[in-house]
Structure 1
């Protein structure tokens, strides 16, 4: 019998329900005896699983490879049932998610949102407590209960101004999903699928996170972040107010002024050694493998090689020598309160891809790593005019069409999160949390382009945004501006001879995911059909596409560039039609990254002019727009 996508979806959903509660199934003993599962069950149940921890990752990789290789869908489900109560809960959900995203017979099956599987990674413990009391107080089983999300700090901490952004459920879920689509340990020889430009994508996605974070800081009248710079300076404090409901223990708070300590697995000296080896490789222009074979850090592959080296992914050339600076940085920071494990504390939020963006140190750490990537980019020549221009094509006008022309309004919007798929509240009615998140009005880009030739020219339209002024009110020069440029959209368009009017809706952005389906929607088969473009749940949340701006109306550069699609296109793009929703940050699943140019082009290299206007060519247009923030909260959004 051939199962439909909907039937498979309905068989898969229960694998994620109540993931932290042991089932009553008798599979665990079978898993213990099954030869497939040798080497599993090492990380104890109730421990916090971390993708950044080498030993955890070895076990998780073993499990997802077993699940991907299961010959039939039924066998896959059987293995999932066997292993569910046997391995660590977080490790199980991670491996199951990676397998589902990559099994050919699960094409079209959608992962339920991580925030509904593990809401304790997103919702403060006070809010949970409140929800439990309400469920107890309202014994009517059919009634839906909605409680409000508590806050996690106050104005005495300047970083609190940005908690709306760092603690946003959508961006933390995005980070979790990105690391599912791009597992560090992905082995093409085992899975049969190559992840194109994975190292470069690791660099670019995190570079964009840092750029977006600095745009938010400037929107709030705060200075751009201070990069992490050495392994001995005191760290600022942070408290997430999260408690892991898997083991009942909090993610520890970090008081101000703690310093990093050696762990038994890795020392600060190791970290410094790896940093200087990578830095040396950048300055001599090549890396060496174990056999002293040299790989040039050239314009085409250099950034991809470096990204793999810094992340220490499976593609890393000579991981033994260059180490694993990114991953261990997360782990060392997360264990700063209990480095030798004497107090049996949970690690802090930095250890988990679903929680690490909450902590201000995440952005400082990634800016430190990005500075290494930028050191490499500085070794490359400026783009020549012939690499930037598109002869015969001129962008004559760019307008943002919203309630007011060239102004985008931002505001808070309320949404709800269902807790009932993770916890047994002893009732049939759902228990939900209401929370507010930043959002923006929908808008269109209206772009007018002249094609001065007599034939149709296929083109790529690239749209970026960056603040016009720094924290002191000075105009940003291109040296700093290019690192604040956030990609807003990138798409293909055919330019007919003469005048072309291009209209593009903000909802269609190549950066954001178009929609996210809840557990309940998936259980009712909403949006599921055999031919739907598979929704991969990886992508920046649409509500955070536009930076917050400020109440006065904050000026931003809106930069539009039109390039020659014949130079940009990649041979096989679009052939499978799957997972091409948020390609800028997530790539296109199982196929080549759909743009031959370096990610972030043309802002990925230094620019020889101080002012953007002096550098702009006819196929580019820089328009100043404003983003105006309104304090009011808009209605609930499902």
Structure 2
């Protein structure tokens, strides 16, 4: 079957799922492989943080993945659509499509078009439904402006452009499709290399980006969540689920974490203490009580799997599920025992969680646990950092004005009619932050007399804190966001390296829309799940401020011959966002720790180490031209 035909058949599975009606397929008419479904009824919100939901979705996507051929796969999917919960169906089918070899090149439609009610405020959806009812049959598409979800009385409102960015939330959803917590390599036949470390690093980077945005808007860096009995800030998402008919739960200010039916707050406290004990003793205990060392090579990966917790956890029964149940408990803070039958809040779902300020504080709390482990490792010395014979002489950012990058608000539109049963096209018009295109110009001197292969590592961090004080490097290192990482050859003598911002190894430049996929655009035999995974390009750099905010650009060249894994050199499929998403069915293409060289403590003595010739700090200004 032609790839375009496969794409069209799979697209049909995802259409208008918010409007599914009718009774589930009778059990007697079902394929035997689907007779154990459903447990989670249709019309309820699915959460891949909830262990019970996660187990059911695992069962489904493993069943779909095991279909003998594409026709058998489609047969199972089409029956499952008439049986299982809507959200669970989308999650499970997406995971299966993204990983089946006979679906290579097929793109899962964007989650924001499948379930637009997870991204667009209820007020806007309501206006769209009314406009669609009033439409003249001869009329063309309708465009509705998005409604704002708060005002300046809430200081966090200033960050709504970041937290409620549609593609940022879609990235988080898609990352968890590529790296499901329930992934079993023994069943799926594919290993997710360094999955625990990548969980740690990707979320750490989101927190660092959030703090950069806070400083850009004049706010303090966030205070980590750290006490399980502390009062929580309030949040209202203004989202209503069209699947359940209920609002996503609002959290009034002053609530605290409470026990939910499946897990208690004391469990969370116990799990945290056990994980910290493992860090302080330098090992974890597996299910057979064998000591597994938290060594430099594998320690962070083991801890990431423990904290999430994924199927790779060494001992889930003992170390628990700190991350996943943390999301669920916070999402149910307004109705912990379910007595009011309220929907959970947005923290319950990977496609909505980033909207809530508590998401970043929770992940900073977890990152602080990871940092506790990193503090136990010796700081990098000159031998770890140097690249003998390679000197960076200068780095400039080439934009309209050198070393000044402008950001601004840009209009975009989201089509609703593929996810909602409308008579015709209705689009929501919204704004997102964006930046002017620029490139890095790196001047290098290679005195070795031979061509050298190098890994170029580019990071950015604010230069000053919220009080205008110069950030000490060890404090600043937690704010460094990765902008790019790539391989290049450096000829003998003096030369330069030029790299466009649009070529970033972190970002995804474009996600094909439903309409584009129906027209056959973006359908490619070389595409894999990783082609749709990545941070949105328009959010590559922080917003900055109207006066021009001072940042430091850090560029480092390391020896690619030491960094390279298994001979990979950028020839793998879909490595456009490799920093956050890895490479298709291969090892993470960098032997160094993720975030190197800022992943370890920089002591009072150690800053002199960060004066090696293969590094360079440059002052860069980011200026926001908007409102």
Q: Aligned equivalents of 2:550 and 2:443: distance in 1?
A: 22
Unaligned runs of 5+ in 2: none
> Could you say which residue in structure 2 is the equivalent of 1:391?
388
Pick one of 287, 290, 294 that aligns with 1:290.
Answer: 287
Unaligned runs of 5+ in 1: 633-638
Deviations 1:81-101 (A, max 9, x none): 001021000000000100010
Structure 1 pair 27–324 and aligned structure 2 pair: CA distance change class (3 A): closer
- Paired residues of 1:573 and 1:593 also in contact (CA < 8 A): no
Q: Aligned equivalents of 1:588 and 1:523: distance in 2?
A: 27
Q: Aligned equivalents of 1:575 and 1:493: distance in 2?
A: 10
Deviations 1:262-295 (A, max 9, x none): 1121111100000000000000000001221011
> Could you say which residue in structure 2 is the equivalent of 1:86?
83
Q: Aligned equivalents of 2:30 and 2:3: distance in 1?
A: 32
> Could you say which residue in structure 2 is the equivalent of 1:503?
498
> Could you say which residue in structure 2 is the equivalent of 1:7?
5
Structure 1 pair 358–532 and aligned structure 2 pair: CA distance change class (3 A): closer
Tell me the CA shift for residue 501 of structure 1: 1.1
Tell me the CA shift for residue 114 of structure 1: 0.4
- Paired residues of 1:400 and 1:444 also in contact (CA < 8 A): yes
Q: 1:188-337 alignment to 2 at 5 Å?
A: 188-337=185-334
1:67 counterpart SS class: helix
Deviations 1:469-527 (A, max 9, x none): 00000000012100000000000000110112111000000000121110000000113
After superposing the two structures, state which structure 1 stretch, 134-143 or 376-385, moved more.
134-143
1:43 and 2:40 equivalent? Answer: yes
- Paired residues of 1:31 and 1:83 also in contact (CA < 8 A): no
- Paired residues of 1:31 and 1:86 also in contact (CA < 8 A): no
Q: Aligned equivalents of 1:415 and 1:144: distance in 2?
A: 15
Normalising to structure 1: TM-score of the pair?
0.96
- Paired residues of 1:288 and 1:295 also in contact (CA < 8 A): yes
Equivalent residues, number: 627
1:473 counterpart SS class: coil
Q: Aligned equivalents of 1:244 and 1:383: distance in 2?
A: 49
Q: 1:147-546 alignment to 2 at 5 Å?
A: 147-427=144-424, 430-531=425-526, 536-546=531-541
- Paired residues of 2:530 and 2:581 also in contact (CA < 8 A): no
Deviations 1:221-274 (A, max 9, x none): 110000001111110000000000101100011110011111121111100000
Measured on the aligned residues, the alpha-carbon RMSD in Å equals 1.6
- Paired residues of 2:6 and 2:106 also in contact (CA < 8 A): yes
Q: Aligned equivalents of 2:587 and 2:239: distance in 1?
A: 39
Structure 1 pair 142–71 and aligned structure 2 pair: CA distance change class (3 A): farther
- Paired residues of 1:287 and 1:297 also in contact (CA < 8 A): yes
Deviations 1:430-459 (A, max 9, x none): 100000001100100011111101110000
Tell me the CA shift for residue 572 of structure 1: 5.2
- Paired residues of 1:108 and 1:535 also in contact (CA < 8 A): no
Structure 1 pair 6–572 and aligned structure 2 pair: CA distance change class (3 A): farther
After superposing the two structures, state which structure 1 stretch, 350-359 or 142-151, moved more.
142-151
Deviations 1:363-402 (A, max 9, x none): 0000000000000000000111011000000001101000
- Paired residues of 1:616 and 1:622 also in contact (CA < 8 A): no
Tell me the CA shift for residue 612 of structure 1: 5.7
Q: Aligned equivalents of 1:532 and 1:589: distance in 2?
A: 10
After superposing the two structures, state which structure 1 stretch, 615-624 or 370-379, moved more.
615-624
1:222 counterpart SS class: coil
Deviations 1:173-194 (A, max 9, x none): 0000000000001001101000
Q: Aligned equivalents of 1:606 and 1:39: distance in 2?
A: 51
> Could you say which residue in structure 2 is the equivalent of 1:20?
18
Pick one of 544, 550, 559 that aligns with 2:554.
Answer: 559
- Paired residues of 2:196 and 2:305 also in contact (CA < 8 A): yes
Q: Aligned equivalents of 2:505 and 2:20: distance in 1?
A: 40
Q: Aligned equivalents of 1:513 and 1:575: distance in 2?
A: 16
- Paired residues of 1:110 and 1:535 also in contact (CA < 8 A): no
> Could you say which residue in structure 2 is the equivalent of 1:620?
615
Tell me the CA shift for residue 608 of structure 1: 2.2
Q: Aligned equivalents of 2:143 and 2:130: distance in 1?
A: 12
Q: Aligned equivalents of 1:564 and 1:289: distance in 2?
A: 36
Tell me the CA shift for residue 22 of structure 1: 2.4
Q: Aligned equivalents of 2:87 and 2:528: distance in 1?
A: 28
Tell me the CA shift for residue 135 of structure 1: 1.4
Tell me the CA shift for residue 589 of structure 1: 2.1
Q: Aligned equivalents of 1:627 and 1:546: distance in 2?
A: 9
Structure 1 pair 20–317 and aligned structure 2 pair: CA distance change class (3 A): same
Q: Aligned equivalents of 2:355 and 2:461: distance in 1?
A: 23
- Paired residues of 2:458 and 2:555 also in contact (CA < 8 A): yes
Normalising to structure 2: TM-score of the pair?
0.98
Q: Aligned equivalents of 1:437 and 1:180: distance in 2?
A: 24
